[in-house]
């Protein structure tokens, strides 16, 4: 059983489109992070959210932590080919760390 | 430059031949961890260390050993590798509490034949 479910598993879009990916759980998390992983490299931390309802922006990326701290979303505006990668969420709860399996995003020129 | 350095990047070995994958960080991080990444299974934690001489098992520790004799180094040891340990391995470190953001190494792709 996966504690953090990410959806969709795969997403393929054209440059300029908007998209949202999700990270959901039935558990409450004390903090949640988003990472992006490019082929052949390790994941790179994008953001950490800790407060229910929190919204953080990183250029064209908007991250939201659910009010109940059980879910999170990542919205990308006007996607670019450079956004291509595996997006992973990671949550901390009950003294453990959990990764979702990721959303593989491909942005075509 | 702040980084986590893993070596080697690529390794092909034979079943049963002991190997060590090194991991070193230059950020004075207390927390270090090893993960393996497999298609369809995502990142799974092998071992972690809260500080020098403090290590604990993650979700998939069987067949692996670690040591933390110095703060900066956290080697992963496969005493008798088997083909099911063929995987992409990542070392990660973080400052302070284990819930803080990780800095990952670039990965080691291991093939056991």
Tokens of B99: 């819930």
pLDDT more than 70, % of chain A: 98
- Closest-CA residue of chain A to B91: A42
Residues of chain A in Cβ contact (below 8 Å) with chain B? 2, 30-31, 33, 35, 40-45, 48, 88, 90, 92, 97, 99-102
Q: Which residue in the set A41, A44, A100 is minimally distant from B42, CB to CB? A: A100
- Closest-CA residue of chain A to B4: A42
Tokens of A13: 């879009």
Quickly tell me which residue has 């991250």 as its tokens: A63
pLDDT more than 70, % of chain B: 98
- Residue B21 and residue B108 in contact, taking contact as beta carbons nearer than 8 Å: yes
Summarised one tens digit per residue, pLDDT across range B37-46 is: 999 899 999 9
Closest residue by Cα to residue A99 from A29, A19, A38, A41: A29
Q: A5-108 is classed in which CATH architecture?
A: Sandwich (2.60)
Q: How far apart are CA A63 and CA A46, in angstroms?
A: 10
Q: What is the mean pLDDT of chain A?
A: 94
pLDDT at residue B96 greater than cutoff 90: no
- Residue B20 and residue B66 in contact, taking contact as beta carbons nearer than 8 Å: no
pLDDT at residue A106 greater than cutoff 70: yes
3-state secondary structure (DSSP) of residue B84: helix
Summarised one tens digit per residue, pLDDT across range B25-34 is: 999 999 999 9
The neighbouring-strand residues paired with A76 are: A19, A61
C-alpha dihedral (B11, B106, B24, B17), degrees to nearest 10? -20
Summarised one tens digit per residue, pLDDT across range A52-64 is: 999 999 999 999 9
Rounded to 5°, the CA angle B46-B48-B49 comes to 160
- Closest-CA residue of chain B to A87: B42
Q: Do B107 and A41 touch (CB under 8 A)?
A: yes
pLDDT tier, A94 (very low <50, low <70, confident <90, very high otherwise): confident
- Residue B109 and residue B88 in contact, taking contact as beta carbons nearer than 8 Å: yes
Q: Cβ contacts (< 8 Å) between A31 and chain B: which residues? A: 99
The upper half-sphere exposure of residue A41, i.e. CA atoms within 13 Å in the direction of its Cβ, equals 14
pLDDT at residue A40 greater than cutoff 90: no
């Amino acid at each position: 059983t996966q504690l953090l479910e990410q959806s969709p598993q795969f997403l393929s879009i054209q440059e300029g489109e908007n998209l949202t990916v999700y990270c959901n759980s039935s558990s409450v998390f004390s903090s949640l992070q988003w990472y992006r992983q490019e082929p052949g490299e390790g994941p790179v931390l994008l953001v950490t959210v800790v407060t229910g309802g929190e919204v953080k922006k990183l250029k064209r990326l908007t991250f939201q932590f659910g009010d109940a701290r059980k879910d999170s979303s990542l919205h990308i505006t006007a996607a670019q080919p450079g956004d291509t990668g595996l997006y992973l969420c990671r949550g901390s709860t009950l003294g453990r760390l959990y990764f979702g399996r990721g959303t593989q995003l491909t942005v075509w020129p | 430059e702040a980084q986590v350095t893993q070596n080697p990047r690529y390794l092909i070995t034979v079943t049963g031949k002991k190997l060590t994958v090194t991991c070193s960080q230059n950020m004075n991080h207390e927390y270090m961890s090893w993960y393996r990444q497999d298609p369809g299974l995502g990142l799974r934690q092998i071992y972690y260390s809260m500080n020098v001489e403090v290590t604990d098992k993650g979700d998939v520790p069987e067949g692996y050993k670690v040591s933390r004799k110095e703060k900066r180094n956290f080697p992963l040891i496969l005493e008798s590798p088997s083909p099911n340990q063929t995987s992409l391995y990542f070392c990660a470190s973080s400052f302070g509490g284990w819930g803080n953001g990780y800095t990952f190494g670039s990965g080691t792709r291991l093939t056991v034949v």
